[in-house]
Each structure stands twice: as structure tokens, then as C-alpha cells.
Structure 1
């Protein structure tokens, strides 16, 4: 038991030093049979179970799912106590109950979704990883996503139709559209403006591109007031047109907007 406690603290220390948000799950009580003793602990990060166990199998899967929901939702409390019936709540054949306590540490409430993995994104993503935010990075090209090292606060998604992931993004997310061109930016932008509101929607490109986007959004049936709800060109008017300096201008604008409105929860688009 003493060795388990030491290993738990060592694992937690490593994660906290790397600024990785975690949920500590503690098994408080058991009625009936359970595959772990009271006091067992597990550490969950955004990528799943990082250390320990509270029982394995369906109990642990349910605990991990609950922990991930707490990590990914800024409007949830930072601690929670649940009592689950092993049959009705977990789907196990044996009877009994488990009581679990969930504690969130270092949760990131500023979420960004970056669509596109080209040269500007290659410069932007490492910069964002220096900030206290979580980034979902989306592109159909896995080889481009793999060019940037993995990070606990970076989720890479390789999908053929990126607009399909708009609905999955956390409430209050900031959206950065820096795809390969108009044909890939437009479907994502159209879906965003039709289905959600967000503190920030930025699209890379020129004023001429904005005019084209506005015309095509109108043709696609997007309301006029929603058409005005995106930023293009993206970034502050600083620097040159190199990928690194464009990325710096985007980060500066994101920070400016974050500090202006806060990472507020969105309301459904009407």
C-alpha cells in the first residue's frame, strides 16, 4: 500500500509539472463485491487512464468517462461524488454499489479548435501549447498533423470532412480556420455560423476572400447577422506574411479576444 501511495504521488507530480489537467478518482465505499479495495485511486487525463485503478472493467470505464466529462466541460464543478448501482448504472451482473469521489486539478477552460495543418498551423500550434489552453487540431492529412509532437493539451483529429467535428467542440470554444484554401474553409465556416455561436471565429485570407465568403454564405442561407460574426482577415495587423509572423499575429488576436470577452459559455444559435 505504501509503495502504491508513493507511485501515485510520483505520477501526479509528473503530470502537474507538465501542466496536464487531471482528475483523481478515489473509491470511497463498496457495498457487495468489487474488484478493488476502498481507498484505491486512479488518475485520468484527457487521453484516458494515466495511473492506478479503481477496479478495471465496466466500473473503471464508467469512471474514466465521468472524469473526461468533468475535464472537458468548464461549467461542471471541480469535484463530484457519485454512487453507482453495479447493475442499473454500470451494467454488471453482480449486485452492490460503489461510491467514487472525483477531483479535478488544472482544468483548462479555454478551448480552441484549429482547422488546417498547413505551414501557418505548423508555426501556430507550438505557440498555443505554451499557453494555458486546450487545442483540438483538425485536418484530413495525418502526415501533416504528425509533424508537430504530441502534447497532453493537444488533440489531433484526422477526418475527411472537418465540418463534421464542429458540433463536438466544447462550449465557448474559439475557432481558427486556416485550411488549405477557400474550398476547405467554407464548409466549416458555414456549419459554424448555422449551428453555433462562439466568442471568436477567425478565417485566414484577404478582404477579397471575405467578400467571396459573405456572398456564398448568403447563397447558402446563412442569416445576415450571422454572416457578420466572423473575423477575416485573421490576426492583428502586425508583422509580415511569413508563417511564423502570421501565427504570432493570430495568437495576439486570440489573447486580445479572450481577455476582452472571457472564455464564456456559448448559447445555441437561433
Structure 2
């Protein structure tokens, strides 16, 4: 089911592939910015004769950087590093108005840690259930900075893959036990085939009190029912109030799985950024 061929390839991932295959490549780094520009100094690009990974903001600037990188590689794979300034005006067909300074250098093993450090850290998302909505959510989260732990009690429901490295499958007979073992600060999305299993998972998450987010798929009526049952089990009022149900930002109406997935991905991304 899952195919990562359409996912953006990061500069670090592409650099690792080039080094693993002994393919010469060029690292393009933004070293300075002036005025209005599409990306800052956290952006990088790795280019070889076959393709590229990462981005410095797209547009004609990126096309010109790729052209120059390949020109350097074709002349000498161990070319001397150099730096160039690019005004983002009419000469590049862009109207940002600022300027960027790019450094071009041959890819070396020593570049890999620095490229990895530019990538945003992945936050742990524990997703319980593998129905239509859950699958749509996995697709929506794939290109975002999350590590997805996909939990399902029914082995036949989880797709065979292939899976990107940041999607981890958990086949289990006890989904609530998985919730109890998840790392502190993780996000939990609960949407199994059973309200009873949903309740056990939510209770386990809220009883811990250290989750960054606890989302439960369902209606306002389901929320009211769960609130009453959780209170009867001794879960504190403030923890119950922190449960998100219904899930997803409210500005996107519709109940199609793909619409819910976009709404949930936006909500999780906002939570992740504000929680840092």
C-alpha cells in the first residue's frame, strides 16, 4: 500500500544514497540571506548526475544551482569549493527582491552529520487502528516530521508496505499496553474498530499524564460518553479535558477519510511546532 516514491527526498537521504553508491555529488548550502528569500540557512541541496535531494526554495534559483553543480561535477568531481551570490530579481526570473549566498562543495562523508542536523526532529505519533481514516492519516503524515508507530490488533488489516523507515508497525493483542509503553510526550491518535479498545487506550494514555496529545476519533456524543466513563475510573478532570475529540482542525468540513486526514495532520503539526 505505502510507496515512498512520491515523497520529497531530503538532502541527507540523497547524500547517504550517493555515498553508499560511490556517486560523486555536490552539496549546495545557503550560507547567508539578504532581504526577502524563499529559504533560510537551514536549507540544503545535494545534486549528482542522476538527480537531487533537498531544496533551497525551488524556482529558477534552484534550477540554476542544479545546473552549476552538475557543471562543476562534470569538469572535476573533486572541484574546489566556492561561494556565489544570487540576487533574486529579474535575472533569475524571480521577484523575491532579496539575495542568497550559496556554497558549492563536493560531497564527503563529513557532510552527512551536518545535513542530518538540518532536518527537523521527528515527533512520535502512535496511531491505533488501520481503517480507512487511519490509512489516509498515515499518507498525510508521511512527508511531515513525524515518526509513525502504527498499532493494530488485527494482523490482516495492516498493509504489507513497503514502508519508509519512519513508519513502524506494531502487531499486538493489547493496544492499551502499547500506549503504556510509548515514550513520554508522544502524540496518540485513537481510531480502532472497537469503542471498547478505544476506551482502554485513551484511559491508558490519560492515566500516564505525560502525553503531548491524545486524540480520539468520534462525535461529541462519543466524547461525552468517554468523559463520564473516564471520570468513573478516576481520571482527573484536567486530563479528561485535554482529550481531543472530535479530532482535526474545525476549519475543514467533511467526513471523507482524506479530508479528516488533512485536518488531523494540520492539527498535529501545529501541536508539534508549538510544543517545542
What TM-score, normalized to structure 1? 0.58
1:118 aligns with 131
Larger Rg: 2
Q: Give how far 1:12 is off.
A: 9.6
1:216 aligns with 229
Secondary structure of the corresponding residue to residue 170 of structure 1: coil
Q: Are residue 243 (structure 1) and residue 234 (structure 2) matched?
A: no
Secondary structure of the corresponding residue to residue 150 of structure 2: strand
Aligned partners of 1:149 and 1:242: how far apart in 2? Answer: 25
In structure 2, the CA distance between the partners of 1:7 and 1:214, relative to structure 1 (3 Å rule), is closer
1:9 aligns with 19
Can you give the 5+ residue segments of structure 2 that lack an aligned partner in the other structure? 1-15, 24-45, 47-51, 55-112
1:128 aligns with 141
Q: Give how far 1:259 is off.
A: 2.1
Q: Give how far 1:229 is off.
A: 1.6
Aligned partners of 1:233 and 1:251: how far apart in 2? Answer: 14
Aligned 8 A contact 1:140 1:160 in 2: yes
In structure 2, the CA distance between the partners of 1:12 and 1:178, relative to structure 1 (3 Å rule), is farther
Aligned 8 A contact 2:209 2:239 in 1: no
Can you give the 5+ residue segments of structure 1 that lack an aligned partner in the other structure? 1-5, 20-102, 263-270
Aligned partners of 2:261 and 2:150: how far apart in 1? Answer: 15
Aligned partners of 2:246 and 2:266: how far apart in 1? Answer: 14
Q: How does 1:46-195 map to 2 (within 5 A)?
A: 105=116, 108-146=121-159, 148-195=161-208
Q: Give how far 1:8 is off.
A: 9.6
What TM-score, normalized to structure 2? 0.56
Aligned 8 A contact 1:126 1:148 in 2: no
CA RMSD after TM alignment: 2.8
Q: Give how far 1:149 is off.
A: 3.3
Per-residue CA deviations over 1:159-214 (Å, capped at 9, x if unaligned) read 01101011322232111111124212100000111123222111000000000000
Range 218-227 or range 116-125, more displaced: 218-227
Range 166-175 or range 205-214, more displaced: 166-175
